[in-house]
Amino acid sequence: MPLPVVSIDKLAFGGNGVSRIDGKVCFVPFSCPGDEVSLRITSQKKSYCTASIAEVITPSPSRTEPVCPIFGSCGGCNWQHISYPVQIEHKRKILSEILWRGARVPADLIDDIVPASLQYGYRSRLQFKVAIKNGKLRIGFYRQGSHQVEDASAGCPVAAPVINETLQCFRNVLQSYPDVENVSQLSIDAGDSGVVVVIHHSGSVTSKNMSYFTDRAAELGPCTGLFLKKEHQSNGDKLWGSSEISYCMNPVDPDMKPLVLSYPPGGFAQVHQLQNNAMLSVIRRLGAFSSTDHLLDLYCGNGNFSIPLAAEVVSVTGIEGHAESIRAAEHNMELNNVANVRFFCDDVPTAVRRLADQGHRFDVVLLDPPRSGAGDAVPDVVRLQPDRIIYVSCDPSTLARDCGLLSGCGYNVVTSVPIDMFPQTYHLESVTLLNRP
């Protein structure tokens, strides 16, 4: 039976190209819009199928040569073979289509995407998997659909150069580490003040383990802080150096000095700092904050937005469920001499319900939930009667679901701005403004 030949029409959330075979949608990994390809069907479902490329018959003019030598086998990037202008064009289309399907948001309310000025070398945080295979040390990422480690011997092209430099130093040191079989992961964070590394150890962390790395501190290049963390341990044991990673956020007044925020090793922070500041600028523009506004920042993390926005409003209340993040937020408040912010460690839906029950009201609510979205909090957010809701999302599907819920409560989308935080992948962030008519 001859292989089906199709043209790739567009890209889907998840990274696959989209075509049709006999009217059925077919998802094709590592294809590019404009490709003419022959396919091998890999799975058949009732409403769609998936296929692999047997041959690229006519390559799309938008195809480009991947930078990474392990692209296609590594489970990280999935769009290095697509030119950057086409990547961002389709990210905007993906957001538009998902918001229309899930919340009937018209396409003309989707703003232009904010592109990344750095398409490579942008990630300031990476977790490298570590394994031994046939006596050889492998440090890299899981292969597509497996837990086999693909060795990133040349480093990672989307990582900040200092991370790759640090990685090579650790690769050299781990070669002779006698207990290397028990090292499962290296977490490397590069801040504005240095590089902090956490070694994840699945065995017992002994004084011998610690002294091995301490004695070789001079061999670890740019590393400015080192932790050893055993399995199921919430916080690692500090071996030496810095205990936090810091980065800068832009103040509202460009003549003022930047705000310095920090987070602990293993804590959460945005991985693309230039775009993190770009996202803050979009929030400022959409929020149109007033000196009389009371702002509620839900899922506030380490105060990433709370603290930079504090100068523009009368008060900020930040709520976050992770105690470590709240400790970092309170530290950042003190570090930047911010007095009009209060942080609370609590389950967000529970805390919002309590605020609503107590009759609190906020002018603006800023939501920055995890991928699962803010659905459980939406009914009580509405009870707070904010004039404006600003929703920062890393998942268009849960954003669409929550916008649909908010629409049913009288809050309609004014505009949604896609932001490319993760070039070479299908992932995208967005900032959406909703208000009441």
pTM for this model (two decimals): 0.95
The reported pLDDT for the residue numbered 208 is 86
Q: Which residues of 373-394 are buried (b: 16+ CB within 10 A; e: fewer)?
A: bbebbbbbbbbbebebbbbbbb
Q: Which residue has the tokens 């492998």?
A: 138
Is the distance from CB of 399 to CB of 100 less than 8 angstroms?
Answer: no
- The DSSP bridge pattern shows strands 245-249 and 237-241 to be unpaired
- Which pLDDT band holds residue 302 (cuts at 50, 70, 90)? very high
Instruction: Check whether 53 has a pLDDT greater than 80.
Output: yes
**How far apart, in whole angstroms, are the C-alpha atoms of residue 79 and residue 64?**
10
121: which DSSP letter? S
> % helix / strand / coil in the chain, to the nearest 5?
25, 35, 40
Instruction: Check whether 1 has a pLDDT greater than 70.
Output: no
SS3 at position 141? strand
- Give φ, ψ of 153 to 5 degrees: -65, -25
Task: Tell me the average pLDDT across 239-258.
Answer: 93
Task: Tell me the average pLDDT across 50-62.
Answer: 97
The reported pLDDT for the residue numbered 231 is 78
Task: Tell me the average pLDDT across 107-126.
Answer: 97
Residue ranges and CATH numbers for the domains of the chain are 5-63 (2.40.50.140), 89-117+272-435 (3.40.50.150), 125-245 (2.40.50.1070)
The DSSP element (H or E) to which 356 belongs, if any, is helix 348-357
Instruction: Check whether 315 has a pLDDT greater than 90.
Output: yes
Alpha helical stretches, state H, 38-154:
84-103
Contacts of 281 (CB under 8 A, 6+ apart): 250
Among the listed residues 271, 297, 308, the one whose alpha carbon sits nearest the alpha carbon of residue 423: 271
**How far apart, in whole angstroms, are the C-alpha atoms of residue 132 and residue 26?**
37
pLDDT tens-digit series, residues 222-235: 999 999 998 777 77
Task: Tell me the average pLDDT across 290-310.
Answer: 98
Among the listed residues 405, 420, 354, 410, the one whose alpha carbon sits nearest the alpha carbon of residue 386: 410
Task: Tell me the average pLDDT across 50-57.
Answer: 96
The reported pLDDT for the residue numbered 377 is 97
SS3 at position 363? coil
> Quick one: angle between helices 396-408 and 84-103, nearest 10?
30
Among the listed residues 309, 319, 413, the one whose alpha carbon sits nearest the alpha carbon of residue 367: 319
CB atoms within 10 A of CB 55: 11
CB atoms within 10 A of CB 197: 28
Among the listed residues 314, 316, 321, the one whose alpha carbon sits nearest the alpha carbon of residue 306: 316
Rg (CA), the chain: 23
Among the listed residues 277, 233, 232, 229, the one whose alpha carbon sits nearest the alpha carbon of residue 251: 277
**How far apart, in whole angstroms, are the C-alpha atoms of residue 21 and residue 223?**
52
Tokens of 213: 């790395």
pLDDT tens-digit series, residues 332-371: 999 999 999 999 999 999 999 999 999 999 999 999 999 9
SS3 at position 154? coil
Instruction: Check whether 105 has a pLDDT greater than 70.
Output: yes
Among the listed residues 235, 75, 42, 50, the one whose alpha carbon sits nearest the alpha carbon of residue 147: 75
The reported pLDDT for the residue numbered 7 is 97
The reported pLDDT for the residue numbered 357 is 97
Task: Tell me the average pLDDT across 405-419.
Answer: 97
Tokens of 75: 């489970």
Catalytic residue among 26, 68, 74, 394: 394
Instruction: Check whether 189 has a pLDDT greater than 70.
Output: yes
Instruction: Check whether 2 has a pLDDT greater than 80.
Output: no
Instruction: Check whether 421 has a pLDDT greater than 90.
Output: yes
63: which DSSP letter? B
Q: Which residue has the tokens 């399907």?
A: 101
Q: Chain-wide mean pLDDT for the chain?
A: 95
Contacts of 106 (CB under 8 A, 6+ apart): 100
**How far apart, in whole angstroms, are the C-alpha atoms of residue 21 and residue 236?**
52
Instruction: Check whether 241 has a pLDDT greater than 80.
Output: yes
Tokens of 24: 């059925």
Residue 206 sits at the vertex; the CA angle it makes with 200 and 210, to the nearest 5 degrees, is 70
The reported pLDDT for the residue numbered 236 is 83
- Which pLDDT band holds residue 72 (cuts at 50, 70, 90)? very high
Alpha helical stretches, state H, 175-272:
207-215
Instruction: Decide if 394 is catalytic.
Output: yes
Among the listed residues 433, 373, 426, 407, the one whose alpha carbon sits nearest the alpha carbon of residue 93: 426
**How far apart, in whole angstroms, are the C-alpha atoms of residue 203 and residue 94?**
44
Is the distance from CB of 424 to CB of 158 less than 8 angstroms?
Answer: yes
Alpha helical stretches, state H, 205-322:
207-215, 273-287, 306-309
Considering the chain, what percentage of its residues have pLDDT values greater than 90?
90
Instruction: Check whether 412 has a pLDDT greater than 80.
Output: yes
Among the listed residues 201, 143, 206, 207, the one whose alpha carbon sits nearest the alpha carbon of residue 174: 201
pLDDT tens-digit series, residues 132-183: 998 899 999 999 889 999 999 999 999 999 999 999 999 999 999 999 999 9
